[in-house]
Amino acid sequence: MAKSVLTPQDENFPQWYQDVVAKAEMADNGPVRGTMVIRPYGYAIWERMQRELDDRIKAAGARNAYFPLFIPESYLRREAEHVEGFSPELAVVTHAGGKELDEPAVVRPTSETIINVFFAKWVQSHRDLPLLINQWANVVRWELRPRVFLRTTEFLWQEGHTAHATQADANAYAVRILNQVYEDFALDVLGIPVLVGRKTERERFAGADATYTIEGMMGDGKALQMGTSHELGQNFSRAFGIQFQDESGANQFAWQTSWGVSTRLVGALIMAHGDDAGLRLPPRLAPVQVVVLLVKADGDSGTQAAAITEQLRTSGIRVELDDRVGVSFGRRAVEWELKGVPVRIEVGPRDLAEGLVTLVRRDNQAKAQVALDGLAPRIAATLEEIQAALHADALARREALTVDVGTVDDAIKAAQSGFARIAWDTAREAEGALNEAAVSVRCLQRADGGLPGSSAEPGLVATVAKAY
């Protein structure tokens, strides 16, 4: 392995994170406190996430739309819990076009309020339901302790908003998004095993009846909430007047859901798979899956490296050629390791003379000389192996750092370095004490891992952890 330029994870995990973000050229801090600049490599990762998520969201029947950034302040006040939850975090436009506004405009912290004003116009009959809308947008929540990607004043996300004729249909859709979009994407693309569960009342979304979540474990044993899906009941439909005529001609309030994931997922990706040499990107997500590294400009090495690159591209691999022979080989190797590119193909004259190139796996640093003949399928297979290996690594860590405990004190202790599983019946009354000890209930699950229908169900398991 090339010598690392990062603070080692064991020494200082938060500093390692900041180092990776900077050295892999993922992001910079913006000038207004808590904002960030997403640099091209970080943005390419986000674009890949968007594409994979958008495909799944569309497959679940939702259509993309776009609602305004500015929300009249009065809209926020219509749902009591919602305004209480978001008020401390709002950014407010008071002046525009050289004048003071009659009514201040809030920069959206989330869009339930403004979207539901339009749902109320569009929904008249049961034939208009379900109404399934998603938007990709920036939102703003003023953060006291910002951290790049994980908790920023402005972030990018998708937010889904739906209206249904029955509570059962709304519930089924919230769970469908949780499982078929968020969990599937986390497992299958990000290679991050996630706990799928229900939030406690204390942790749920402001204005929701139920919040479902996927929670991942990061490299330091802490939890990261990676996506949430909410059942809003009729809270917003009553506040905003979303009514429909049912088949019998009676007026009913719609049942609703909302759900979102954000650029926070880039932080999850960094912390779930990264090591002391930098990022390790799962191949299905990686914007660059393979880098072809020209060792030096000897003989026809350059031509061959370009030909190999083209051949891989043709077979559908996302590949980049690095022929910057003016920069030392070692320095370039370190750069690609930092960026977590899954496979590095080193093309040098000695290997080429024997019809070989050197293949280096980023996940385990394994090196092998492989034949040029049959290279593309060989690499495609290696990429799948790496995808599986990263998931296996993350799962092994979670299993090693998860313990079953019997008391709240033991839960607090175990949560210092991983996940503590405790009977919810034991922890229910102690949630305040857990929070005072700087840990929290990440989610509730049934003993078989299934989603609880309510937090009052007997026999539930609570997972307690420190969280980002």
- Piece of the chain touching a copy of itself by CB under 8 A; list 137-145, 220-228, 264-272, 420-428: 137-145
- Smallest distance, a copy of itself to C-beta of residue 144, A: 7
Residue with Cβ nearer a copy of itself (328 or 454): 328
Q: Using the rule CB under 8 A, is 98 a contact of a copy of itself? A: yes
- Piece of the chain touching a copy of itself by CB under 8 A; list 70-78, 191-199, 368-376, 400-408: 70-78
- Smallest distance, a copy of itself to C-beta of residue 327, A: 9
Which one among 24, 45, 107, 460 touches a copy of itself, defined by CB under 8 A?
Answer: 107
Residue partners of 280: CB distance under 8 A and separation at least 6: 273, 274, 340, 342, 362, 363, 390
Spatial distance between the Cα atoms of 253 and 170, rounded to a whole number of angstroms: 12
Q: Which two tokens stand for residue 416?
A: 């210092």
Q: Which two tokens stand for residue 52?
A: 């994979």
Q: Using the rule CB under 8 A, is 464 a contact of a copy of itself? A: no
Spatial distance between the Cα atoms of 247 and 243, rounded to a whole number of angstroms: 13
Spatial distance between the Cα atoms of 342 and 165, rounded to a whole number of angstroms: 46
What is the length of the chain? 468
What single-letter amino acid sits at 120? A
- Piece of the chain touching a copy of itself by CB under 8 A; list 135-143, 277-285, 348-356, 442-450: 135-143
- Smallest distance, a copy of itself to C-beta of residue 108, A: 11
DSSP H or E run through 443? strand 440-445
Whether cis (ω within 30° of 0) applies to the bond prior to 130 is yes
Q: Using the rule CB under 8 A, is 145 a contact of a copy of itself? A: no
Q: Using the rule CB under 8 A, is 124 a contact of a copy of itself? A: no
Q: Please, what's the b/e burial string for 413-440 (b: 16 or more CB within 10 A of its CB; e: otherwise)?
A: ebbeebbbbbbbeebeebbeebeebebb
Spatial distance between the Cα atoms of 323 and 385, rounded to a whole number of angstroms: 27
Instruction: Give me the residues paired with residue 156 across strands.
Output: 138
Please give the residues from 153 up to 172 whose contact with a copy of itself meets the rule CB under 8 A. Answer: 153-154, 156
Using DSSP, state whether 342 is helix, strand or coil: coil
Q: Which two tokens stand for residue 24?
A: 């892999």
Q: Using the rule CB under 8 A, is 366 a contact of a copy of itself? A: no
Residues 10-29, one symbol each (x = binds a copy of itself by CB under 8 A, - = not), give ------------------x-
How many amino acids of this chain bind a copy of itself (CB under 8 A)? 54
Which one among 45, 49, 57, 90 touches a copy of itself, defined by CB under 8 A?
Answer: 90
For 404-447, where are the alpha helices, taking DSSP H only?
408-414, 424-427, 431-436
Q: Using the rule CB under 8 A, is 140 a contact of a copy of itself? A: yes
Residue with Cβ nearer a copy of itself (181 or 414): 181
388 in Cβ contact with 364 (< 8 Å): no
Q: Using the rule CB under 8 A, is 381 a contact of a copy of itself? A: no
Q: Which two tokens stand for residue 212?
A: 């479902």
- From edge to edge, which strands make up the β-sheet containing 367-371? 319-322, 290-294, 343-347, 356-361, 367-371
Please give the residues from 246 up to 275 whose contact with a copy of itself meets the rule CB under 8 A. Answer: none
Which one among 105, 272, 375, 443 touches a copy of itself, defined by CB under 8 A?
Answer: 105
Q: Using the rule CB under 8 A, is 329 a contact of a copy of itself? A: no
Which one among 4, 48, 60, 118 touches a copy of itself, defined by CB under 8 A?
Answer: 118
Query: Footprint of a copy of itself on this chain (CB under 8 A)?
Result: 28, 30-32, 35-40, 42-44, 46-47, 63-72, 75, 87-98, 104-105, 107, 114, 117-118, 121, 133, 137-138, 140, 142, 144, 153-154, 156
